[in-house]
Chains A and B, each alone.
Chain A
Amino acid sequence: MNTLIAITGLGIFCLLFEILNLRKGIIPFTILGLLGVLALNFSEFGSTESYYNNMIAVSKFSTTFSSLFIVLTIFLVALSHNFYENHPTKISDFVAIKIFLLAGGVAMVSFGNFAMFFLGIEILSISLYVLAASERLNLKSNEAGMKYFLMGSFASGIILFGICLIYGAMGSFDIVEISEYSLSAELPIWFPIGMILVVIGMLFKVAAVPFHFWAPDVYEGSPALTTALMSTLAKVVAIATLYKLISALNFIPSLENQDHLATFENIIVIISIASMTVGNIMALRQVNVKRMLAFSGISHAGFMLMTLLSISTSAGVLLYYTSAYALAGIAAFSVVLYVCKNQDNEDITNFHGLGKTNPLLAAILTGSLLSMAGIPIFSGFFAKLFLFNQTIEAGFLILVIVAVINSIISVGYYFKLILAMYSKEPNQERTGKPFLIYGVAIISMTLNIVLGLFPSLVLDLLN
């Protein structure tokens, strides 16, 4: 709870900074602030309380994930220094929005009541709309914002409808109560339908097939930093929330009672297979790196959905997978930000010869791509390993085999980028070594490898 308040406060401070003309200090201040918040969050570790007659329910799950979100936000804020160099007047707004977005995310994973859940989603989404469209004069950015906005609010409508049906079925918005009712013998059909609608809304947020169409366009159109945010923070928040939604409401047991479990599992299996397959295959022929990463994000969403099949045990795996994926994403995007700073697009051609001009960054990007592809010692591999292990245990061998085939396909496009970096001649000289970008890249990569070497660190938090 305090975390949430602190974050919101921090956001407001950022706005104040603008008024007080302290732009210079804003990035360091925010980072410090976020570190403070992180500490605060750690202090709440393990405590399971609920505040404001259970509007917010802090739990191990919420705290751990919140800390992940905070870490990611720190990285993103750090990156924004270099990114917004050219329009200093807006920096505080953007940073503030990111902070609020974080607040929305935290609210989403620690909701104790559908009201909070809905507000969280909306805070997150609205901030994202703004960020997506933040390059006012760039038509691409506008288009991205518009598309995201239209589809987003459409999805919100669906979610709202779902909530409404649940309310109709249960007569309450409170998770605890609903979870109790949901175990009762017979439920009105509205409950599963409502749940499904909400789930669909969340599937839209995590960009799972067939609700993924927005992602590539929006990722491509939005400013690179926003893309980074969407593909890491937003995605992680969404999947975490989806997980919490299903687990906290005893949705699975209730389905078991009504013996609809198979139905639900089939839906998840189909969607996750579709997501990874479509994502990977579509990514193969992309020339724009942001777009490519968008599709790879879709496929990863497919992987993450596999955790829903063994909901009771897979929290730790989900946490591990999301952190691995997000860290790799951050590392990758920090390099993308550096390389495409003054380019008007993010095509692969911009990366030619990076291995010669900036070996370190090239190595880091390679590392993060290998991690996403699931090559050992990078945490991405272990994430996949645990996920597969989990899923086979739950008895979905076929799904795992499909997943394996997909990871083979995925290597194809990850390596396209690596090849571009190492086997092509540099076509431009890249000057300057922006400290923050290097810092973020190095730290996130290090974290990634550390996670790979000692997976238990994260894995055991939620087991």
Chain B
Amino acid sequence: MNVSLILIILLIGAFATYLVGDKLASKVALFFSLAALGCSVVLTNHFLAGESISLINAWITQPKISFALNADGLAIAMLLLTVALTPIIIFSSFGNEYKNAKGFYALILFMAFAMTGTFLAADGLLYYIFWELALIPIYFIALIWGNGDSEERRKAVVKFFIYTLAGSLFMLVAFIYLYQKAGSFLIEDLYKLNLSACEQLWIFLAFFLAYAIKIPIIPFHTWQANVYQKAPTVGTMLLSGIMLKMGLYSVIRWQLPLAPLAAKEYMNIFIALGIAGVIYGSIVALRQKDLKKLLAYSSLAHVGLIAAGTYTLTIDGLRGAVLQMIAHGFVVVGLFFAAEVIFRRFETRNISEMGGIRIQSPKFTSMFLILVLASVALPSTFNFVGEFTVLYSLSQINVWFAVLGGTTIILGAYYMLKMFQHVMLGDKNAKTFADVTINEGISLVVIIAVLIFFGFYPKPITDLITPSLETILNVINKN
């Protein structure tokens, strides 16, 4: 089974979507994304059947860069996350009318293509190229179809682009440096390197800059809230649902194995940063007036915890992090979609103008509540599995990490329930709120189903990712 097929589907999809014109664009995009999903499922079966899913084609001779894709369990998990969320995201946008829709949906597919590539790439430079490519579409999506005052938006988006690019360019330098040492960009060759502690430190920092901005880890998160707020909800979903995970995935795949000494040496600092993010994000979220901004900060908090998990360098930490990545991917998409659903009816994202929805629309309220509960990691939701594992791994490093990280349980509940109370509860709102349409319902139900199913039975994913995580850990602990 050729792994590049998925990439090809998505890329062709992007062009096809652009060509069929505004009328059909959304449908075609949905079709292609579903095709990619199907293809990935088949791929997964092949993988589970023990087939090794990888290909290497020579691409550039001097310097030696090859078009190498490799799908181990981890990559497949992220791949599935991407291709599963993309159709949901596209489908969720059916309620909206976009001018120049063909461009819009084409960009979405193209972004999916780039992100998939990032997850699959097994060659440092190829990975970097996909990584950068993913940035372009979201830039245009946010810029052209975003909301709010265009001047503000422009500032926010440009800041986002330059800021992230700045980070990743240093990663590029690091990659070139590694290439000088290894004579190839292939990941296995890079894994073989034995760098001095000092070199590793610099490499680690270069990567960290790129990832810390993308994930984002405080204090590099300043782009996040604004962009989430200004971007169209679809863009926000793509950003928060998948693109953040790119950063976290890269930490596991590239940063830790390539600079294990540094990672071990300064482990505590980076865990502490992550946890600081948890607390900071939660606290800032308490007083947000804008629903999307609040969700942005909540995801800052969650992602901080995930990052802390990855930096523990324990199998639990990594496993929990990956589980939590997937869980958070779904829940955050769901929440942002819910925010969009509200916006479609109330024309506002300002929490103070909401409230009294529950009376008018019980179905939607229940769904929203489930999403909220999932995001506060109520047991029996997927997020709990991830969060529990991560916190456990933290407690193994130092019980205080677990305690501080665990404050997310309290603060998270605080701001989410506060939000829920003011958005949904309370007496009847002047504005009428029609209950969810079928389409909206489908998207939400799918997400909720995933969250709850894996909440009780995460085994499939765990079994999928564990072996590859162990191999990565072996690389980390090789010397």
B partners with A: yes
Q: In whole Å, how far is A276's beta carbon from the nearest beta carbon of chain B?
A: 14
Q: In the complex, are the beta carbons of B173 and A388 less than 8 A apart? A: yes
Chain B residues in 8 Å Cβ range of A370: 136
Interface residues of A in 356-414 (CB under 8 A from B): 370, 375-377, 381-382, 385-386, 388-389, 392-393, 397, 400-401, 404, 407-408, 411-412
Q: In the complex, are the beta carbons of A377 and B129 less than 8 A apart? A: yes
With an 8 A cutoff between CB atoms, is B437 at the interface?
Answer: no
Q: In the complex, are the beta carbons of B166 and A423 less than 8 A apart? A: no
Q: In the complex, are the beta carbons of B162 and A419 less than 8 A apart? A: no
Q: In the complex, are the beta carbons of A376 and B129 less than 8 A apart? A: yes
Q: In the complex, are the beta carbons of B143 and A419 less than 8 A apart? A: yes
Interface residues of B in 400-453 (CB under 8 A from A): none
Encode B159-178 as 1/0 by CB contact (under 8 A) with A: 00110011001101100110
With an 8 A cutoff between CB atoms, is A422 at the interface?
Answer: yes
Q: In whole Å, how far is B176's beta carbon from the nearest beta carbon of chain A?
A: 5
Residue in B closest to A316 when the chains form the complex, CB atoms: B62
Residue in B closest to A452 when the chains form the complex, CB atoms: B129
Chain A residues in 8 Å Cβ range of B144: 355, 422-423
Give the distance in Å from the alpha carbon of A33 to the alpha carbon of B372 in the complex. Answer: 71
A: contact size bracket: 20 to 34
Q: In the complex, are the beta carbons of B143 and A375 less than 8 A apart? A: no
> Which residue in A408, A415, A455, A456 is a CB contact (below 8 Å) of B158?
A415
**Given A385-B125, A415-B158, A392 and B177 contact (CB-CB distance below 8 Å):** yes
With an 8 A cutoff between CB atoms, is A177 at the interface?
Answer: no
Give the distance in Å from the alpha carbon of A459 to the alpha carbon of B63 in the complex. Answer: 10
Instruction: Classify the interface of chain A: helix, strand, loop or mixed.
Output: helix
Give the distance in Å from the alpha carbon of A355 to the alpha carbon of B100 in the complex. Answer: 11
Q: In whole Å, how far is B61's beta carbon from the nearest beta carbon of chain A?
A: 5
Q: In whole Å, how far is B192's beta carbon from the nearest beta carbon of chain A?
A: 20
With an 8 A cutoff between CB atoms, is B140 at the interface?
Answer: yes
Q: In the complex, are the beta carbons of B165 and A400 less than 8 A apart? A: no
> Which residue in B153, B162, B166, B176 is a CB contact (below 8 Å) of A389?
B176
Q: In whole Å, how far is A114's beta carbon from the nearest beta carbon of chain B?
A: 33
**Given A376-B128, A423-B144, A412 and B173 contact (CB-CB distance below 8 Å):** no
**Given A392-B176, A415-B158, A455-B60, A422 and B140 contact (CB-CB distance below 8 Å):** yes
Instruction: Classify the interface of chain B: helix, strand, loop or mixed.
Output: helix
With an 8 A cutoff between CB atoms, is B22 at the interface?
Answer: no
Q: In whole Å, how far is A43's beta carbon from the nearest beta carbon of chain B?
A: 26
Give the distance in Å from the alpha carbon of A397 to the alpha carbon of B154 in the complex. Answer: 34
Chain B residues in 8 Å Cβ range of A375: 132, 136
Chain B residues in 8 Å Cβ range of A377: 129, 133
With an 8 A cutoff between CB atoms, is B180 at the interface?
Answer: yes
Give the distance in Å from the alpha carbon of A51 to the alpha carbon of B321 in the complex. Answer: 70
**Given A400-B173, A408-B166, A419-B143, A386 and B63 contact (CB-CB distance below 8 Å):** yes
Residue among B153, B172, B179 with most chain A CB within 10 A: B172
Q: In the complex, are the beta carbons of B176 and A408 less than 8 A apart? A: no
Chain A residues in 8 Å Cβ range of B180: 389, 392-393
Residue in B closest to A313 when the chains form the complex, CB atoms: B62
**Given A377-B129, A388-B173, A411 and B62 contact (CB-CB distance below 8 Å):** no
Chain B residues in 8 Å Cβ range of A312: none
With an 8 A cutoff between CB atoms, is A180 at the interface?
Answer: no
**Given A407-B169, A423-B150, A460 and B177 contact (CB-CB distance below 8 Å):** no
Q: In whole Å, how far is A398's beta carbon from the nearest beta carbon of chain B?
A: 11
Q: In whole Å, how far is B154's beta carbon from the nearest beta carbon of chain A?
A: 6
Q: Chain A: residues with CB nearer than 8 A to chain B?
A: 316, 355, 370, 375-377, 381-382, 385-386, 388-389, 392-393, 397, 400-401, 404, 407-408, 411-412, 415, 419, 422-423, 455-456, 459-460, 463
Q: List 29 A-B contacts (CB under 8 A).
A: A370-B136, A376-B129, A376-B133, A377-B129, A381-B132, A388-B173, A392-B173, A392-B177, A397-B173, A400-B173, A400-B176, A401-B170, A401-B173, A404-B169, A404-B173, A407-B169, A408-B165, A411-B162, A415-B158, A419-B143, A419-B158, A422-B140, A423-B144, A423-B150, A456-B62, A459-B60, A459-B61, A459-B62, A460-B62
Q: Chain B: residues with CB nearer than 8 A to chain A?
A: 60-63, 125, 128-129, 132-133, 136, 140, 143-144, 150, 153-154, 158, 161-162, 165-166, 169-170, 172-173, 176-177, 179-180
